[in-house]
Amino acid sequence: MLYNFETIQMRLTDYVYVPDSKFKLTNTAFSSVEAGLAQKSRQYWADKTVANEVKLEGLDFDLSAFDGENSTTREMMALSVALSELGVIDEDVCSIIGAMNCEFNSSGNQINFGKKIDAFAYLRFVLEDTKKYIEEGHGFAKQVLVSMDTALVVMLAIKERAEAAKVKSLIDTRA
């Protein structure tokens, strides 16, 4: 079950679109209604007619210190959970952003919470790797490609918001 279904549904209520089959989810544990909403969410993020500022509406925490090229896995996890709770992303995209470059010990515990990561380089590497699987005829990779691409678009929107916040914070409002 899509755990943030209602939040995403409320967020995308006014978004009108013609469903595009390339965003359709297949072979998932989601119901057809949940898969349809996840498809709508991915298509929303791919829609260039909707500004990133609109897509990130409600994201009211300070991103001026965020640096996607130099963040820890803990920071990426916290960001992905915050985005998911707002209904900005679904749980698949949340998992991609929140579990970038995670390493685990033999007991299954994550061991690299403080390790720095370049989220954009990581996502681009995985996207290229996924394209190779598609070329080799692995059908499952097409769905992964859409989810990975959505994660990259979301991260680029976050970067844009963070850079705008940095510029605003450089202005001395006390003068």
Task: Give 36-62 pLDDT, tens digit per residue.
Answer: 998 999 999 999 999 999 999 988 888
Position 151 in a domain: yes
Provide the domain limits for residue 71. 38-101+111-169
The confidence score (pLDDT) of residue 174 equals: 56
pTM for this model (two decimals): 0.87
The vertex-130 CA angle with 155 and 89, nearest 5°, equals 30
Position 47 in a domain: yes
What is the tally of structural domains in the chain? 1
Position 115 in a domain: yes
The confidence score (pLDDT) of residue 170 equals: 59
The confidence score (pLDDT) of residue 164 equals: 86
> 64 is written with which tokens?
């001026």
Please check whether residue 96 is in contact with residue 124, taking contact to mean a CB–CB distance below 8 angstroms.
no
Position 71 in a domain: yes
**Residues of the chain where predicted confidence (pLDDT) is lower than 50:** none
The confidence score (pLDDT) of residue 172 equals: 57
Instruction: For residue 20, give every residue at least 6 positions away whose Cβ sits within 8 Å of its Cβ, in sequence order, or none.
Output: 43
The confidence score (pLDDT) of residue 29 equals: 76
Position 62 in a domain: yes
Q: Where are the alpha helices (DSSP H) in 48-139?
A: 52-55, 73-85, 91-98, 119-135
The confidence score (pLDDT) of residue 94 equals: 93
What residues form DSSP beta bridges with 116?
72
Block residue for tokens 């994201």: 59
